[in-house]
Structure 1
Amino acid sequence: MHENEISEKIIGAAIEVHRILGPGLQESVYEEALCHELHLRGLAFGRQKSVPIPYKGIKLGTDFRLDLIVEDKVIVDLKAKEKLSEIEKPQLLTYLR
């Protein structure tokens, strides 16, 4: 499945979760509900996956923690807020390296 098709299904699942649960809950609640929706839509995913941080030929002792990785192609970073802070924007781009 292509990344665009996966992304469309993830967005549809997220909209469904928000439509049913509404705003104001903790990220962990949305994560659990989104995982259920992804499962219902036949998407494989991993939760809270550790990704090592490479640095000059070594792996640092601290890892990135991804909220969800869907079909081993699309990273989902859940946020339960109206908009991203200025710190969170570059952090998300770092995950893609």
Structure 2
Amino acid sequence: MNYLHWLSPDVDLSGDKAKVPTSGASFVKYFQPSPPASDPPHRYTFLLYAQPADFKMPKLASPLAFDLVSFAKAAGIGEPKAGTFMQVQG
């Protein structure tokens, strides 16, 4: 199952490093990784998309069972521009 842990608009890529807003509205507030201790490592993926000027946030029913492909299509954001991942064990 996919769980949406965070969704932030307006990441600034104008300098040498990406600047993620630390204040203001996140579409989904950050929820830290916390897999159960008895589970194998969980994978957490971070993806960066270009934000269209006319971007409107599609309605999210819940961060549980998040469908990235459907969300990207509804949001009109296309394919990811960059990404990375980490694994966390509880």
* TM-score, scaled relative to structure 1: 0.26
Higher helix share: 1
**Which structure features the higher share of strand residues?**
1
Q: Which has the higher contact order (CA 8 A, sep 6+)?
A: 2
TM-score of the two chains, using structure 2 as the length reference = 0.27
